[in-house]
Chains A and B, each alone.
Chain A
């Protein structure tokens, strides 16, 4: 397969703070350096792009930041690449470079074919013009010729579902209609490479589905390459074939889309897992607190789908009183927040009616039989019938791959979530 897009050592540096006299003096310094044939005095400085960390005002270092640093990867023809990452990881900057809204500081991007980029739908819509006039305007802005638009006008109008309003000024449209019209134009662009930002986050569910379907069919039928940036993991998993995870301006993972999602989710939660005790994003009255959780299989932390699992939760009660009618709920979720299992102590009545103010509750589970990948655990503890503590994503657990009795690798996440043990017989 040929390479459609090649990112080659892409970096982007931004200057922080106001444009003011400092800017002018840096500009002059830079110009002076260039006149003498010296390299840019500010090219070497710059920090890792960690928005949370607050930098002091000492030295030139703090004035510059690398939004992207040495990004290199290839996108093959016909691939749908999903780019995921936290806010501020550099996703939007990467898209901006690709759509030529701004230029990289260093490096180069090479591509084969026309790139159509949708950082926003309905770019350049003029509120006073009618829907039809705006289709032409928007199409031309995206690089279509007038002839092309005329040829596909009926298709576009039909896809947008705004046929009745097409000769009404766009300012009378609802926001949903405007978005639909914008996407309709974009979806009918003739290009080899499609770049899509989270524009799909708008519009109703039905329209979103239509858009995702369109994106998928574009790549399957027409062999178009697409790059898709989203926070919607389900959408990424559904339509992307490959995933890139960005973190603080660097690539942290390249690979299969669902692996990329798992990697992202895992790094997300390990960041926060530091200690359940220190977490503040918890609900409940706080009289009892969950201190830690440990998940093991036969006493070791490696978990296999065909082995029983033991979940131990340590708790403590501030008032040193006994817990009455204790109840512990363990919820197990996949990367898309689908609830897979719920283990509720109230359903079995095995816990004693009162518990010591400090202790460990242990739950033993039969083999989960899930396909390999990441699972997330939510915890909730009740005391005296009231929610005392509730921690989401208290732990992320990785289920290892496992071979069947015949030695074949079992199913994986792309096939299904649960891999039920079963037998086959043959009846004559």
Chain B
């Protein structure tokens, strides 16, 4: 199918400036070919905060409309994934769970990993999935990826409650020993949200024009899971592989979570700071790219 794509040439036009000066005025809105690179226009986002809330609510409500079990379906996915992991990786492949009850080990990894993967996958295609909406009305585009991160946070919250139930059971039986590092959970989630938002927005800017990346992406996220200690503990890796894998900014996050809640795994402030730095850098880079794309992506999507 033929598509129409817009181009933004750099044209300096002095004429434009002169006319603006004639009617020098209190313009409240200026529509121009480009906006500045780092400006997220947060005051605008703030004005649309209700929209953010309503998007999150829509995603949540629409998910279980016309179902009988309702929000219970949020539990089904992590439980089934966990059971599958136990079967495949524990029983068939015989991977170690660091002496932890397998169900807790995998559930912890899956809950955190799903949050990252869902955010990333959905944010990366935010322009294509919302093209219908974006093509008809203006609102700060960044609301859409933010809403994805937030509504996944709700989902994560529900799944986290499930994890806590299992944790309480095993804790009561004395099989796991949570410690104070578990209190870092909000920080871990913040880093993960920033990282997935940054990475996702970076890709979203590219997928609008070159769809090839969409295919690459879903495959890439799957691979990334195996490069992250979700189904295996870092401690079981041979040092040769571990020295590469530890540079994966997601690894310290999952390891810290496991260390805090289950009492096994590794934890270091240094590596956590490393993850945070990478996340912030990805976010800044994505802001630049997203700002460049958001104005004209409609012509290329």
Mark A residues whose CB is within 8 Å of B. Answer: 2-3, 6, 8-9, 12-19, 23-24, 26, 30, 34, 39-40, 42-43, 64, 72, 96-115, 117, 119-120, 123-124, 126, 128-129, 133, 136-137, 140-146, 169
**Residue in B3, B55, B66, B134 with the greatest tally of chain A CB atoms within 10 Å:** B3
Is there an interface contact between A102 and B5, defined as CB atoms closer than 8 Å? no
Is there an interface contact between A102 and B16, defined as CB atoms closer than 8 Å? no
Is there an interface contact between A105 and B33, defined as CB atoms closer than 8 Å? yes
Are A126 and B62 CB-contacts (below 8 A) given A40-B11, A101-B298, A143-B139? yes
Is there an interface contact between B23 and A3, defined as CB atoms closer than 8 Å? yes
Q: List 28 A-B contacts (CB under 8 A).
A: A3-B25, A8-B16, A8-B20, A9-B16, A14-B5, A15-B5, A24-B210, A64-B7, A101-B136, A101-B298, A103-B32, A103-B295, A105-B6, A108-B30, A110-B30, A111-B28, A112-B29, A113-B29, A114-B28, A119-B136, A123-B136, A124-B133, A128-B65, A129-B58, A141-B51, A141-B133, A141-B137, A144-B50
A126 to B66, CA, bound (A): 14
Closest Cβ–Cβ distance, residue B90 to chain A (whole Å):
39
Closest Cβ–Cβ distance, residue A67 to chain B (whole Å):
9
Chain A, residue nearest B35 (CB): A103
Is there an interface contact between B33 and A39, defined as CB atoms closer than 8 Å? no
Closest Cβ–Cβ distance, residue B100 to chain A (whole Å):
40
Measured between beta carbons, the chain A residues less than 8 angstroms from B26 are 112
A300 to B6, CA, bound (A): 51
Is there an interface contact between B9 and A115, defined as CB atoms closer than 8 Å? no
Are A104 and B31 CB-contacts (below 8 A) given A16-B4, A128-B66, A133-B61? yes
Measured between beta carbons, the chain B residues less than 8 angstroms from A145 are 47, 50
**Residue in A2, A24, A107 with the greatest tally of chain B CB atoms within 10 Å:** A107
A124 to B51, CA, bound (A): 11
Is there an interface contact between A140 and B28, defined as CB atoms closer than 8 Å? no
Measured between beta carbons, the chain B residues less than 8 angstroms from A24 are 210
**Residue in B4, B7, B10, B58 with the greatest tally of chain A CB atoms within 10 Å:** B7
**Residue in A16, A34, A100, A117 with the greatest tally of chain B CB atoms within 10 Å:** A100
Measured between beta carbons, the chain B residues less than 8 angstroms from A106 are 9, 11, 13, 16, 33
A16 to B295, CA, bound (A): 19
Is there an interface contact between B9 and A39, defined as CB atoms closer than 8 Å? yes
Is there an interface contact between B29 and A102, defined as CB atoms closer than 8 Å? no
The B14-50 residues at the A interface (CB cut-off 8 A) are 15-16, 19-20, 23, 25-34, 47-48, 50
Is there an interface contact between A23 and B5, defined as CB atoms closer than 8 Å? yes
Closest Cβ–Cβ distance, residue A102 to chain B (whole Å):
5
Please give the number of chain B residues whose Cβ is less than 8 angstroms from any Cβ of chain A in the complex.
53
Is B244 interfacial (CB 8 A cutoff)?
A: no
Are A40 and B137 CB-contacts (below 8 A) given A98-B31, A112-B25, A137-B54? no
Mark B residues whose CB is within 8 Å of A. Answer: 1-11, 13, 15-16, 19-20, 23, 25-34, 47-48, 50-51, 53-55, 58, 61-62, 65-66, 133-139, 209-210, 295-296, 298-300
- Choose one: B9, B54, B209, B296; the contact of A102 (CB below 8 Å): B296
Is there an interface contact between B2 and A17, defined as CB atoms closer than 8 Å? yes
Is there an interface contact between A140 and B4, defined as CB atoms closer than 8 Å? no
Measured between beta carbons, the chain A residues less than 8 angstroms from B31 are 97-98, 100, 103-104, 108-111
- Choose one: A6, A14, A104, A126; the contact of B23 (CB below 8 Å): A6
Is there an interface contact between A142 and B137, defined as CB atoms closer than 8 Å? yes
- Choose one: B3, B7, B19, B55; the contact of A105 (CB below 8 Å): B7
A13 to B33, CA, bound (A): 11
Measured between beta carbons, the chain B residues less than 8 angstroms from A18 are 1-3
Is there an interface contact between B139 and A141, defined as CB atoms closer than 8 Å? yes
- Choose one: B10, B25, B54, B62; the contact of A39 (CB below 8 Å): B10
A222 to B25, CA, bound (A): 22
Closest Cβ–Cβ distance, residue A63 to chain B (whole Å):
10
Closest Cβ–Cβ distance, residue B91 to chain A (whole Å):
40
Is there an interface contact between A123 and B9, defined as CB atoms closer than 8 Å? no
Closest Cβ–Cβ distance, residue B39 to chain A (whole Å):
14
- Choose one: B15, B27, B55; the contact of A111 (CB below 8 Å): B27
Closest Cβ–Cβ distance, residue A39 to chain B (whole Å):
6
Are A105 and B66 CB-contacts (below 8 A) given A110-B20, A110-B30, A141-B137? no
Chain B, residue nearest A97 (CB): B31
Are A103 and B58 CB-contacts (below 8 A) given A8-B16, A19-B209? no
Chain B, residue nearest A44 (CB): B9
Chain A, residue nearest B19 (CB): A8
Closest Cβ–Cβ distance, residue B4 to chain A (whole Å):
5
A183 to B171, CA, bound (A): 57
Is there an interface contact between B48 and A143, defined as CB atoms closer than 8 Å? yes
A183 to B199, CA, bound (A): 38
